[in-house]
Chains A and B, each alone.
Chain A
Amino acid sequence: MHLNTRQITDKAFTVLTGASVVLLTVVLLIVLGPITWRGAKAVIFKDTIEFRKMQFALYHRGNYEDLQSEIAEVHQFRDAAYLIIDEFKHGIDTDELIDESKQIYRQFGKELKYKGTSGAEYQQIRSLAREIRDKLQATFQSNDKQIIQENIDYILQYRTNGEFVDTAAAGFFTLGEDFLKSVENIDLDKRQEYAGALQKVEDIILHLLGPKPDDPVPALSMDRYGATRWDLAQKLLDQLLWSEKWVQKEADQPMIKVRTLRAEQFEGTKLEPLFGYVQSNLDRMMKPMPTFYWRYFIDDSTPGHYFGGVGPEILGTLLLTLLAMIFVIPLGIISAAYLVECASDNMAVRIIRMGINTLAGVPSIVFGLFGLAFFVLFLIPLFGGASKPCILAASLTLAVLTLPVMIRASEEAIRSVPQTYKEASLGLGASRFRTFMKVTLPAALPGILTGIILSLSRVAGETAPILFTGAVALGPLPKSLFDPTRTLSYGSYDIAVGDRLAMMVPHKQYGMVVTLVLLILCLNAVAIILRAKVFRRLRGN
């Protein structure tokens, strides 16, 4: 080849290799960058007062007095919002108003009995109260403002009646007055519509601020708190301010999402100021604060994956990985030693070799099903264990899964030990076993460690093999090897398929994924440092 051509091809080759390295880096950054960024949000984020309330209630973290004063502060601003909603509600929620009037009537009856009012008088007052009640109910159901005005006026004339002053019946009059005020600006024909829209607003407010202080405590702990994260709070605020609708503008055209201001639905009503109020006072209602939630890595999660951290998941992943390694390392090395040192090149050995190579390419879900059939349903019951998914079965399955990788790496490592080492050892009178243990194995250790690194990464990240053999999405910490465990890989899978959770706690999912990557990196780092040390010792400097 001409010298010039050779130089050009050489340079082209250099450029090409450089470009491929750059490409690889870019791809890695594109893939890992956003995931890491979102995962970091699980640990570093702006929390809200709800988060601190949750942390105190679940883990007793934080100062009680400070928390109480903070709660008092935010409630000043929240109460105003609740007030606006309540006032508006009085105008439209017919059923509740009717219920309230019935309650007042009953209460009033009880009071009368308690006072010991005599029969005839009791009947008289009671029938009057019944009349007021029925009138009120009719008023609530009426859509005519004139009738409402007349009815309320009629009822209010009894206000000063001696029988009603300072009794439960006074409630009738305030109820009526409030209703009159509430309906002032409302188009009464749209009451049904308002009720539906208000329900949505109330739902969003409930998610944002949590249950009201005087509401009963919800059974699920995830319902006990509002938005614990500032980003979630802002998302909810957006939902509060804007309503989304899918509209078909023209026939045969795809539907379009239309965002309209929710305030427009309530134009001219008492609820309208609510939106502006919440928007401008959200930070005072939530008190956001930047947090470094490092306990994410040790906290248990309650309930489900909703609050808390990934402590049990990390523990489970480590447990499964290390246990699988304990099984696979000796087995892999012994098998590799047999293949290199003892096996002759006959049909049986060739079949074994082919089997190992094939196993390395079998989809992991097949190993999962194998683990279920063999370890969970057959082997463990055979030795008297309970036939249920457990850590032992899962780690054995993982060990089987990664055994081919381990065998092949160890085989290569053992094969690459110079024959001269073996000759030297044998020439000094060492047995073959001794030669293997004292000379071949130490010299092959770096290669074997590479195999361990490969297996480790594979095992720690696998989901399919443990799906049926020992992973659970939720549950208590395992007490023995015969209990199932939570793992990072299965946890992120579970959140991903549990669609409601995935939307509500995306940070949790990304956090798990990033934690898994970090965990594998840490485990690998340990192995790589170990390998470097062994290598240096072998090299002799």
Chain B
Amino acid sequence: MPASALENDINIGQIKSAVSLGQKAAHENKDEELDCSCAVIKSENFSFYYGSKVGVKDITMDILPCSVTAIIGPSGCGKSTFLRSINRINDLISNTHIEGKLLVNGHNVYDKNTNLVNLRQQVGMVFQKPNPFPKSIFDNVAYGPRLQGIKSRSKLQQIVEDSLKAAALWDEVKDELKKSALSLSGGQQQRLCIARALATKPNIILMDEPCSALDPIATGKIEDLIDKLQNDYTIVIVTHNMQQAARVSERTAFFCLGELIEYDSTVKIFRNPGKKQTEDYVTGRFG
């Protein structure tokens, strides 16, 4: 149909321009070659089952440090499941089991001896909907450090300030740290959640569709923030928005029906995908 063909054309055009824009910044000093030895998250034939239902199956991929990795795919393809397996937040769901290995900083997270507290402090997480606690802004950010046993007021204040600055929220809230986090706008709340995740000093941040509940301006701010954070943190972001994936990420993984279809540099995925399924998806022919 001519109408849908036209839409597809526009879609592809937008994505291509976004990719070329994002590339400049992201790829100046990064090697295009895959270097497995320094992978911070290493998935080896990892499968996750909800009862007998497959969540993800046989995922093998390496995520590089200090970069942004996007996971895209249609709904129900297991991208969130995979992300949530990395810090084992999936444990909340009963009656699940896994196969294969998932290494974070060299440790198998599904090992029996894994210290969940340590793991989750290394791997921060930002959720789809902004979910600040119904406490003050200060208490939200200080929640993680307090868990680590930091009690000194001045130390906490320093951490809160640093985290809020890192999350580009400090200037907006510095005078009202006592105010409830719920009084902030959606975009601010999401940045607060990022600040909260940063406060525990993780080296990996998982983002599960962090902008899906936000308007374009707030989304832009978050994307700028991701861009800034990738210098110090390894970021894995799940997104439905392919333009966003193209804008912020260096590498992109395409999931479909619980399987990893293709995993390569973002440029390659969007410009010259290796698989037909990927091409169909990124050009909007399905999904």
Tell which of A344, A428, A429, A442 touches B94, judged by Cβ atoms closer than 8 Å: A344
The bracket for how many chain A residues form the interface is: 20 to 34
5 A-B pairs with least C-beta separation: A540-B180, A420-B131, A429-B120, A540-B182, A427-B125
Tell which of B87, B129, B134, B182 touches A427, judged by Cβ atoms closer than 8 Å: B87
User: A539 and B144: CB pair below 8 A?
Assistant: no
B92 within 8 A of A: yes
**Which residue of A has the minimal Cβ distance to B144?**
A428
- If A426-B120, A428-B200, A429-B116 are given as contacts, then 11 extra A-B residue pairs at C-beta distance below 8 Å, sorted by A number, are A421-B131, A426-B92, A427-B120, A428-B120, A429-B120, A429-B121, A430-B117, A434-B147, A443-B134, A540-B134, A540-B182
For A425-446 the 0/1 string (1 means CB < 8 A from B) is 1111111001000110011000
**Which residue of A has the minimal Cβ distance to B126?**
A427
B118 within 8 A of A: yes
Query: How many angstroms between the C-alpha atoms of A539 and B131 in the bound complex?
Result: 13
B174 within 8 A of A: no
Some 15 contacts from A to B, beta carbons below 8 A apart, are: A344-B94, A420-B127, A421-B133, A422-B92, A423-B92, A423-B131, A424-B127, A428-B197, A429-B144, A434-B147, A443-B133, A538-B182, A540-B183, A541-B180, A541-B183
User: B89 and A426: CB pair below 8 A?
Assistant: yes
Chain B residues near A (Cβ < 8 Å): 87, 89, 92, 94, 116-121, 124-125, 127, 129, 131-135, 143-144, 147-148, 179-183, 193, 196-197, 200
From known contacts A423-B89, A434-B147, A540-B179, infer whether A428 and B196 are also in contact, taking CB-CB under 8 Å: yes
**Which residue of A has the minimal Cβ distance to B123?**
A427
Which residues of A have CB within 8 Å of B89?
A: 423, 426-427
Which residues of B have CB within 8 Å of A430?
A: 117, 143, 147
A276 within 8 A of B: no
Which residues of A have CB within 8 Å of B116?
A: 429
User: Closest CB-CB distance, A86 to chain B, in whole Å?
Assistant: 82
Tell which of A344, A422, A428, A540 touches B143, judged by Cβ atoms closer than 8 Å: A428
Name the residue among A426, A438, A442 with the largest chain B CB count within 10 angstroms.
Answer: A426
Query: How many angstroms between the C-alpha atoms of A446 and B225 in the bound complex?
Result: 36
Which residues of B have CB within 8 Å of A427?
A: 87, 89, 120, 124-125, 127, 197
Which residues of B have CB within 8 Å of A537?
A: 134, 180
User: Closest CB-CB distance, A51 to chain B, in whole Å?
Assistant: 56
Which residues of A have CB within 8 Å of B183?
A: 540-541
**Which residue of B has the minimal Cβ distance to A434?**
B147
Tell which of B118, B180, B193 touches A424, judged by Cβ atoms closer than 8 Å: B193
Query: How many angstroms between the C-alpha atoms of A426 and B89 in the bound complex?
Result: 7
Tell which of B127, B143, B196 touches A423, judged by Cβ atoms closer than 8 Å: B127
Which residues of A have CB within 8 Å of B121?
A: 428-429
Which residues of B have CB within 8 Å of A385?
A: none
Which residues of B have CB within 8 Å of A420?
A: 127, 129, 131
User: A539 and B182: CB pair below 8 A?
Assistant: yes
